[in-house]
Amino acid sequence: MKRACGFVIFRRFKGSIEYLLMQTSYGEHHWTPPKGHVDKGESDMTTAIRETEEESGLLKNDLNIFEDVKKELKYNVKGRPKIVIYWLAELINPNKDARLSDEHQAFLWLPLEEACKKSGYQDLQDTLRYFDKYISDKLLK
Ligand SMILES: Nc1ncnc2c1ncn2[C@@H]1O[C@H](COP(=O)(O)OP(=O)(O)OP(=O)(O)OP(=O)(O)OC[C@H]2O[C@@H](n3cnc4c(N)ncnc43)[C@H](O)[C@@H]2O)[C@@H](O)[C@H]1O
């Protein structure tokens, strides 16, 4: 099965929580958090870190990774099943911005409702809402 891993990255910015979404420069120009295919012999977490660095310029040291908070999405791409694993991560310095690679044409930091609208896919919206609840229940109290 095709497998991809990445991070739902949030930052605490001017009193609100914002999520990083990136828009592909190919295909349908859809928006997702940074993620990508697991290479042969690579662990899921290594993939998530590598793809995030390649796609957004944000390094492992820029992030506080919540290894125990993850979500798996399963959907079909061209008729073949794909699994995508996202962990939650916080951008430690909220003023450090992302940068683009050739794979994306735009990125945005968006509050929950706008991020859900932009992402479109129901399972990604559910994932964002699940992580948002974790943030409010566990990190903001
Ligand atoms: N059309 C294209 N033209 C040119 N180059 C292309 C291309 N598609 C991929 N590539 C190349 O493939 C590389 C991507 O490699 P990676 O960067 O390693 O992998 P990825 O993020 O998992 O790829 P992708 O964007 O295809 O995956 P997603 O599941 O979001 O998206 C895959 C499909 O699933 C759909 N999808 C995404 N999330 C979904 C969800 N939650 N539910 C249902 N469908 C979803 C998307 O709309 C999309 O149709 C790029 O370097 C690019 O060069």
- By alpha-carbon position, which residue is closest to atom 25 of ligand 1? 24
CB of 103 closer than 6 angstroms to any ligand 1 atom:
yes
From the CA of 15, how far away is ligand 1's center (Å)?
A: 33
pLDDT in tens, 7-24: 999 999 999 999 999 999
Domain that holds residue 114: 2-139
What pLDDT sits at residue 141? 76
- Which amino acid is residue 34, in one-letter code? P
Contact predicate 21/115, CB 8 Å = yes
The CATH number linked to 97 is 3.90.79.10
The reply to whether ligand 1 has any atom less than 6 angstroms from the CB of 27 is yes
pTM for the model: 0.96
Output the DSSP codes for 42-83: --HHHHHHHHHHHHH---GGGEEEEEEEEEEEEEEETTEEEE
Q: How many domains does the chain fold into?
A: 1
Q: Is the CB of 102 under 6 A from ligand 1?
A: no
* Residue nearest to ligand 1 atom 15, measured at CA: 36
Please identify every stretch of the chain with a pLDDT value under 70, giving residue numbers as ranges. none
